[in-house]
Structure 1
């Protein structure tokens, strides 16, 4: 049990932190929603009803979709683009899909390689691109969830203000939707760019996201 906890500590800690923050967001969002209800002369609602509301779903999904967009772009762009000096990048000249030998697929697969790495055709293609594809699908799913929940929440506000509700397609052209979407996208892209560039000159001893402390600034693709 102790070994299993040690071997999976990073995922478990982040999973736990996610649940803690999600619960905290639920309580904070509920309080904020009820403040707006009271200010509009309406009755506050219970926590259970808030958790099943379009407002809560839209708030959660809009953050998820930006995170998965970040990972989707980063996974695919780092195949072909490099940043000299960053441990987050391949070395200049090594960009691309790499050879079967380097990727340990087909006849170069080892005994402990996944079975689809030894296979050919569609199975190997799917395994070779599975991480990026799943991140892309999660982005699309969470984006759709955000848009569907968002139009429901938007229409609740429209009806509250005695205005006509809009269709889902119309909502996709509304400033409200793109304001909520783009403010998340820009923050995620800034965070990735900061990590890529700052890791050229800054260090965190012992972290695989950093170069060894004594590595030169122009060392690329070197982990601590």
Structure 2
């Protein structure tokens, strides 16, 4: 068990932090929602009712979709795009998809390479792009979920204000949907750009996201 925890500590810790923060968001969001209910002269709702509400759903999903968009773009862009001096970039002479030998696929697969690394055709293509495809799929699904939950929450406000509800397609073109979407996108893109550039000049000793402390600022594609 101790060895399992040590070898999987990064995923386990982030998974635990995710659950703690999600629970915290649920309680904080519930309190905020009920505060708004009381301000508007409406009765408060139970925690269970809030957790199944469109308000909670859209708050969660609008953040998920932006995070997975960040990963999706980063995975695909770093195939071709480079940043001199950044550990977040590949080496400057290795843009593109690289050779089969470098990728250890087909005849160049190692003894312990995944089975699909030895495949050909569609199976090899799917496995070769599986990380980006899955991240992209999660982004699309969570963005679609945000649009559905967002429309429901928006229509609840519309009805509360004695206004007509809107259709899903009308909501997709609404300022509310794009405000929720773009405020998350801009923060994620800024974070990625900041990491790629700041890691050129700054260090974190022992971190896989940083160059070795003594590495030159121009050293590219190496990690500590």
Q: Does 1:128 align with 2:128?
A: yes
Aligned residue in 2 for 1:50: 50
Distance in structure 1 (CA, Å) of the matches to 2:152 and 2:93: 49
Corresponding position of 1:31: 31
Q: What's the offset of the Cα at 1:108?
A: 0.2
- CA distance in structure 1 between the aligned counterparts of 2:184 and 2:119, rounded to whole angstroms: 40
Aligned to 1:107: 107
Give me the CA root mean square deviation. Answer: 0.4
Q: Please give the per-residue CA displacement for 1:1-26, whole angstroms capped at 9, x wherever unaligned.
A: 10000000000000000000000000
- Give 1:66's aligned residue: 66
Number of equivalent positions: 224
CA distance in 1, matches of 2:35, 2:75: 41
Residues 127-166 of structure 1: pairs in structure 2 closer than 5 A: 127-166=127-166
- For residues 128-176 of structure 1, the C-alpha deviation after alignment (integer angstroms, 9 at most, x for no partner) is 0000000000000000000000000000000000000000000011101
Task: Give the superposition deviation at 1:93.
Answer: 2.4
| TM-score (normalised: structure 2) | 1.00
Counterpart of 2:95? Answer: 95
Q: Residue 65 of structure 1: SS of its match in structure 2?
A: helix
Q: Counterpart of 1:221?
A: 221
Give distance in 1, aligned partners of 2:111 and 2:91.
Answer: 28
Q: d(CA) in 2 for partners of 1:45 and 1:112?
A: 55
Pairwise CA distance, 1:58: 0.3
Q: Report the TM-score when normalising by structure 1.
A: 1.00
Structure 1 residue ranges, 4+ long, deviating more than 2 angstroms after superposition: none
Tell me which residue corresponds to 2:174.
Answer: 174
Deviation at 1:92, TM superposition (A): 1.4
Matched residue, 1:40: 40
